[in-house]
Structure 1
């Protein structure tokens, strides 16, 4: 592997989902942008988001109601100022998307009113959607704009290895200066110098054995930010989506909450409903409540799964509103107009992350974090449905407004050191990475999953510390690979998740510890700072 030539830009954006592309398009008229995509541009969590984006478009709804619903779903740990900022900015952000060509479903062909659906935790219909493939519509529309913009360079199939900071180079202060980027096609490590760097890398749900996320969701941004000196918070709150398809040929296929919003019910294997036994909101209770109820019933009954049933609705209704799910299930031998769908909970969304302010700024100068990688205080102890893509849009646009006025005040560092691989060799033991990857995801699922205990967390910490030693030695001696970089980051994020969970001596939202089943009176966000 040879050293690639270095590159320079005004703004380096690591991540190509809704957050990264919204930022790129918001600054590109005034800045040279390099956008790093770990896979191809259309891959990532945004593309697979089914449900929609929350915003107040109905005259019977209100920003105050959106705020209150979000605060309630967050179980007392949301930052109210952040929630108000997000809900107030929601409609403008959706209209920005619409102006760029994103097409949301209307009530009918003659109407200018959008079809609004309702999901768990919402008191009103306020979810704009494109059938059941909203993320795909957003991703493909923005990707076309990004590819066609002359000021945006897209680097596909590239992994960010680490951030370059003045502190790491022994210089004064702690400002981000760029990043090392590994191009998987050329097998070269590029040094990219930038005035500003924004992490838009998504979450870390691949730290768990079962997840709805694509394979690239490996906590890269969280781990890189931590190594650069950023603070993280609330990483114990990993949302487990209640309804992931249980099928050996479709491990990661999510069944949108909008199914339950439109009347689908959860049933035991014998056909009886169980959500009325757990919560008065039944299937529309927040995700943590529904996921724990499913987990409880599966363990109580020794069942491999439970069932989600919308077959009581008309076939035309189902095919119109959920065409993606209908076709995918039909291809697996399930006709959802007649059959109940087997489902299990799966790790879905990282509610904590890199601590930022309302402009996306971290504690490292020049470094921003937006979208799922960031902790803004919006989600608290549980994310309300369809606030995730909204957060990407709102904070990407806020970050653009923060960066643009500073561009002329910052110089690009032209003397960054090249990537040094003079002391490493090619690995002859890739099987070690595969075994460590499997071990990590399995013990995180068993010990730091939907239900936890102090003993389980202590066991998980011991195992993760052992893995870290092995992986550090491996990283120091062998050339980088995709699996090695992802495993290194996942193990780091796993440690942070465990340490955040050990701080919380209560059960709240997505964090349930059987040793502390009650709510604490003075709960605060968990926070970790690097040494």
Structure 2
């Protein structure tokens, strides 16, 4: 290894979860080192438009409460949320907003100086706080990044984590990393926090940035941690459709546009969500996305349309400047014409199994944000709960780390590997086509089996000497895990819809679907937790 560094806590990722954790750990007196594959601003957080869902007692709708927010979350989660986790995380919503504002986040306000609130699908009240109209994530990222820079928080930009290292007693004790020039190095730390975001790059069309390659899932699995519920991939119902441009990251059209009155119509002007759900255009995302897919199939079209001309009209550019700019760049004027929209991979509701304090089953390994599976989201995430979870869990994971380091002896570090590891890799374009074709909004057993066989046939074992190979290896392992999980769950629930098992099976499947790697590197089911706290 050509270079080395040490810290108390190594944070992998620079979104809201990672930077919240790093800043809190610094407050607690820990030596912190942050690793980012790109610049500090390049994570998923920057692309989040809608806002942060939080009930603040001093400013809320009449009748709204944390209990109502909990009820909406449990309903969206389709029976797989942990009520304990939901109550715990959402109960910290007001304090998370205060902490973000203390870091300089500027949320939108009304003429009276109160925080402006909107409503999104699945919410029974206006409780989504936003910034810059539809640039909430970008504002939070700016505020946290500015604070990190002002406090001199050390960040290794353009560095890629290849593998987690262990101590002699099996605890995580650091990471093997490649710098921007591909030079390997070792970062030693008795605690590692993965805040790596999602896995959207598994699919041809996604709202996620290029860095969302499932790194945290793969790193945690190889380190001995459990993952669960990876089959629940939330597809956003409304991303901008531009003919001929259906690969890679697609511009998001935030759900808040529907929250303020816009409606979905098909190519013939018929309402898409009529008779689909009591909440109509504000139904949970899995319901809306599935309805859009069916309507496109029925009409033989590549998109439906989001009509905001009556609800917003000339107010749209000021209220939703990011959406407006994306539309105008594509030659569409949403003030006077409907916006062509389609679905795209958006958010992973499953992830690395952890407590609501960020602890995993592996000593020294912590997770926060989208990479974590805490039980908050269940089978389908409620809109705008993700930024809240990242902010809450980031702080809690830092506090857990401080507490654990003061109590537990981690053991001596094992010798550093002399060679970079090797792993199966599938060409990214091939992998995306396989996953989009067989593991999208609707799946079936035959297609999932075909996808697993195709991945096996296309896999080539390669040394992880480059960031591209490390990312493709992470995508390959994560894809296999998702396919195994989707094959196991023989029912339809939330984001997971099986054509061959269209019904929900509460008797057998109202529980988690955990996986781990065995000693030979095979994905196997962990013992199911029949008594898991779900509702």
Provide TM-score, normalisation by structure 2: 0.91
1:31-180 pair list within 5 angstroms: 31-57=30-56, 58=60, 60=62, 61-108=64-111, 111-130=112-131, 131-150=133-152, 152-166=153-167, 171-172=168-169, 174-180=170-176
**Paired residue for 2:524?**
none
- Give the equivalent residue in structure 2 for 1:319: 317
CA contact (8 A) 2:89 2:356 kept: no
What are the equivalent positions in structure 2 for 1:441-520 lying under 5 Å apart? 441-468=432-459, 470=460, 473-475=461-463, 480-520=465-505
Q: Offset at 1:467?
A: 3.4
- Distance, in Å, in 2 between the alignment partners of 1:464 and 1:97 is 42
Aligned to 1:439: 430
1:428 is matched with: none
Query: SS state of the match for residue 429, structure 2?
Result: helix
Return the offset for 1:414. 7.1
Name the stretch that deviates more: 230-239 or 399-408: 399-408
Unpaired stretches in structure 1, ≥5 consecutive residues: 425-431
CA 1:415–1:75: 2 relative to 1, 3 Å: closer
What is residue 243 of structure 1 aligned with on the other side? Answer: 238
Q: Distance in 1 between matches of 2:358 and 2:458?
A: 32
1:112 offset after TM fit, Å? Answer: 3.1
Q: Deviations over 1:374-404 (max 9, x none)?
A: 1000000000000000110111111122112
Matched residues in 2 for 1:380 and 1:410: separation? 32
Cα offset, 1:209, TM superposition = 1.1
Which moves more between the two structures, 494-503 or 9-18?
494-503
Give me the whole-angstrom Cα distance separating, in 2, the residues matched to 1:314 and 1:256: 14
Match for residue 514 of structure 2?
527
Q: Contact conserved, 1:195 with 1:410, CA < 8 A, in 2?
A: no
Structure 2 match to 1:427: none
In 1, the alpha carbon distance for the partners of 2:285 and 2:374 equals 20
* CA positional deviation for 1:332: 2.0
SS in 2 for 1:485: helix
Q: Provide, for residues 333-373 of structure 1, a one-character-per-residue CA deviation record: whole Å limited to 9, x for no partner.
A: 11110111111100000000000012111111010010000
5+ unaligned residues in a row in structure 2: which ranges? Answer: 519-535
- Superposed, 1:359-378 pairs within 5 Å as 359-378=357-376
Deviations 1:80-136 (A, max 9, x none): 00000011111111111011110111111xx23111100000000000000100000
Please say which of residues 231-240 and 157-166 is displaced more in the overlay: 157-166
Deviation at 1:148, TM superposition (A): 2.0
Deviation at 1:31, TM superposition (A): 1.0
Of 166, 177, 181, the match for 1:181:
177
> What's the offset of the Cα at 1:444?
0.6
Return the alpha-carbon distance in structure 1 between the equivalents of residues 129 and 502 of structure 2: 36
Q: Distance in 1 between matches of 2:309 and 2:5?
A: 55
Q: Indicate conservation of the 8 Å contact 1:189/1:419, yes or no.
A: no
- Find out whether 1:228 has 2:216 as its counterpart: no
For 1:8, which of 6, 17, 36 is the aligned residue?
A: 6
- CA-atom RMSD, angstroms? 1.8
How far residue 313 of structure 1 moved from its aligned partner, in angstroms, is 3.2
1:142-191 residue CA offsets vs partner (Å, 9 max, x unmatched)? 001112223x210001111010013xxxx33x20010011112x321110
* CA gap 1:303/1:423 in 2 versus in 1, 3 angstroms: closer
User: Aligned residue for 2:349?
Assistant: 351
Separation (CA, whole Å) in 1 of partners of 2:91 and 2:123: 16
Match of 2:195 in 1: 200
Q: Are the aligned partners of 1:194 and 1:412 in contact in 2 as well (CA < 8 Å)?
A: no
Q: Secondary structure at the match of 2:506?
A: coil
User: CA shift at 1:316, angstroms?
Assistant: 3.9
Provide the rounded CA distance (Å) in 2 between the counterparts of 1:119 and 1:334.
24
SS of residue paired to 2:315 = helix
